[in-house]
Amino acid sequence: MDIFSSFWPWYITGPLIGLYVPILYLLINRHFGVSSTFRDICAAVIRPSSGYFKYDWKANRWRLVFVAGTAIGGFLAGGTLRTPPGGQISGHTLAVLASLGVKDFSSLVPADLFSTGSLLTLRGILLIAVGGFLVGFGTRYAEGCTSGHSIHGIATFQRASLVATLSFFAGGLICTYFILPYILHL
């Protein structure tokens, strides 16, 4: 069980994730990406007569199974494989977060930011609702998510995916160093 409850080094997990691209091509002739699953779910549930959601979503059932398996696997792992309090966050990161007002490090996700009570604050709304909207908008604007572009697109030498991945990283750095500190001081 220790192999599943400990953190794996990047030189093991990186190649395993990278091998997913050719395996998908060889086994089912499909490319990796998760953000399109939301469109598949909407097309299956809404069933519009025309427009963006009118297409054969059943051809992409494998994505729905993949996302469901990811969610179920995460739930099972979270319930059976407990991470020690604080996880493996660097001391420097803990100090920076503490200086920004984050106090509860009893789990990998600080309850100061991600709990039912904190979601109903201005800070919680900005972090979750506005942040979630911006991520969703950016995903559609970039025509794919980080997994699709950064794993599949770069592995297949697509220039647009390289630009998207560099933009994801730049946006993450800008948010981390300039926007997040401002929001945490609200």
Domain membership of residue 76 (yes or no) is yes
SS3 88: coil
Domain membership of residue 12 (yes or no) is yes
Angle at 147 between CA 184 and CA 63, to 5 degrees: 120
Domain count, the chain: 2
Domain membership of residue 87 (yes or no) is no
Please report, in tens digits, the pLDDT of each residue of the chain (186 residues total).
677 767 788 899 888 888 888 888 888 887 777 778 888 888 888 877 767 778 888 888 888 888 899 899 988 887 777 655 545 678 888 888 888 888 887 777 788 877 888 888 888 888 888 888 888 888 878 888 887 888 888 888 889 989 989 998 999 899 889 988 888 887
Q: Which of 82, 100, 135 delimits the end of a domain?
A: 82
Within this chain, do residues 77 and 133 fall inside the same structural domain, yes or no?
no
Within this chain, do residues 63 and 129 fall inside the same structural domain, yes or no?
no
Within this chain, do residues 77 and 2 fall inside the same structural domain, yes or no?
yes
Q: How far apart are CA 83 and CA 5, in angstroms?
A: 7
* Structural domain span for residue 4: 1-82
